[in-house]
Amino acid sequence: MNQFIGVISWALASVALAAPAPNSFAVQGVRIFDGEKSHAHANVVVIDGRVAAVGPGVRIPKDLQIVDGVGKTLLPGFLDAHVHVFPGAQSDALRFGVTTEFDMFNVTHDFEQWRRQRESLGRATQADTWSAGIGVTVPGGHPVQWVPENMPRLTRDASAGEFVAARIGEGSDYIKLIVEDNAVLDPAHAIPTLTPAQACAVIAAARARGKLTVAHVTSQSNALMAIDCHVHGLAHTFVDGPAGEELLRRAREEGVFFISTLALLGTGAARAPFVRRPMWKSALEMLAVGVAAGGAAYAVGALANRVVGA
C-alpha cells in the first residue's frame, strides 16, 4: 500500500511544517482512497520525503509535525498524460491535485530543472514534469502555426537517427512524432506530414536508444500506420470514424496505449469561450470544427474501452 502515494497530494502542499526535517510529517485520522478502495481513519507517516507507513493502526513518531486529517480525504496525485506547459501551468496543476504531467511538445528546454525536481525528495511547488521536447515534424507540418520558425524539423534527406539523437541530447524524456496531414481537422487545407518511411525510421531510432515513442494522430489511417511502425502509444486518437477491427487487432498485438484526450476533442467548442490565452482558444475552436466534421468524437471512446478490455 506504500506505493499508492508517490508525492503527497495537493491538499498538503500549503502545510507549514515545523519538524526538524522539513519534509517529514504525519497525517492523522484521514480517509484514504488508494486508487481502488477507501480506508477510514488512517494515519500516514512521511519521513524525509518518503511515505514510511500507511494504515489505521500506524503509530506516529514523537515530535513529528501532525496534520489533522479528520473529515478529509487523501488521494493519490493525479497524472495528466497530455499537456503543453507554459509559465505557471505546473503550479496550477499541483493546486488541482495533478502531481505528474507529461508534456507533449516544448521548445523551452527546461528539462534539467524538471528532472532535478522529480528526482528530489524535497517539497515542490509545481507538478513533476516529463517532456517530449521538440516533436518530430516536417517543414510546413503541424504545429507550424504555433512554434518558432527556426525550430528543428525533419527534412526528406535528413537522418531520422541523428534527429532523434539531437532531441535526446537536448533532454527529451521520450520521442513524439507528429503524423498530421489536417485531413480531419481542416480538409480544405492539407499540410505536409511525415511519410510512413520517416515515421518508421523515427520510431526505430528512438527504440534503439531505449526511448518511448508517442504519435500525434487524428485519422484512423495514420493511427494504423503508426501502429504498424511499432509506436508505443498514440497521443490523441482518431476522430474520423469508429475503430475498425484491423486497427484493434494490431493495437492489441503491439500493446499500444491510447491517450485519447476525449475531453478536449469532445468539448472544444464549449470550453473555448472560457479560455483567455489566444493560442489555446484558437486551438480549441479549430479542434471543435474538425471533430464536428468527422462526427465521431465519442466513437473513439468505444475504441479505448475495447482495447483496454481486450
Print the domain residue range for 8. 2-74
Question: Distances from the Cα of 67 to the Cαs of 28, 29, 60, 243, in angstroms?
Answer: 6, 9, 11, 49
Do 156 and 241 reside in the same domain of the chain? Answer: yes
Q: What is the CATH number of the domain that holds 69?
A: 2.30.40.10
Count of Cβ atoms closer than 10 Å to residue 205 Cβ: 22
The three cell numbers of residue 305 are 474501452
Rounded to whole angstroms, the Cα distance separating 161 from 167 reads 10
Rounded to whole angstroms, the Cα distance separating 173 from 100 reads 14
Quick one: which of 137, 218, 215, 144 has its CA closest to 185?
Answer: 218
In 3-state terms, what secondary structure has residue 185? coil
State the pLDDT at residue 267. 54
pLDDT in single tens digits along all 310 residues of the chain: 433 443 344 334 334 334 457 789 999 999 999 889 999 999 999 999 999 999 998 999 998 999 999 999 999 999 999 998 888 889 989 998 999 999 999 998 889 999 999 999 988 899 999 999 999 999 999 987 778 888 999 999 999 999 999 999 999 999 999 999 988 877 888 999 999 999 999 999 999 999 999 999 989 999 999 999 999 999 987 878 778 889 999 999 999 999 988 766 655 555 556 566 666 666 666 665 555 544 444 444 444 444 444 3
Rounded to whole angstroms, the Cα distance separating 34 from 1 reads 8
In 3-state terms, what secondary structure has residue 67? strand
- The residue among 30, 54, 74 that closes a domain is 74
Do 140 and 51 reside in the same domain of the chain? Answer: no
Start-to-end CA distance of the chain, whole Å, equals 27
- The residue among 59, 74, 89 that closes a domain is 74
Do 164 and 282 reside in the same domain of the chain? Answer: yes
Do 303 and 175 reside in the same domain of the chain? Answer: yes
Quick one: which of 145, 148, 209 has its CA closest to 175?
Answer: 209
Q: What is the CATH number of the domain that holds 145?
A: 3.20.20.140
In 3-state terms, what secondary structure has residue 225? helix
The three cell numbers of residue 309 are 478490455
pTM (2 d.p.)? 0.81
Do 39 and 137 reside in the same domain of the chain? Answer: no
In eight-state DSSP terms, residue 59 is: P
As a dihedral over the C-alpha atoms of residue 102, residue 89, residue 9, residue 256, rounded to 10 degrees, the angle is -20
State the pLDDT at residue 290. 52
Strands (E), the chain: 25-33, 38-47, 50-55, 66-68, 73-74, 78-83, 98-103, 128-131, 175-178, 213-216, 233-235, 257-259
Report the number of distinct structural domains present in the chain: 2
- Residue 9 main-chain phi, psi, to 5 deg: -65, 175
User: Is-contact 219 238, C-beta < 8 A?
Assistant: yes
Q: Is residue 20 part of a domain?
A: yes
User: Is-contact 136 202, C-beta < 8 A?
Assistant: yes
Do 60 and 159 reside in the same domain of the chain? Answer: no
Q: Is residue 298 part of a domain?
A: yes
State the pLDDT at residue 287. 60
Do 162 and 276 reside in the same domain of the chain? Answer: yes
Do 223 and 138 reside in the same domain of the chain? Answer: yes
In 3-state terms, what secondary structure has residue 39? strand
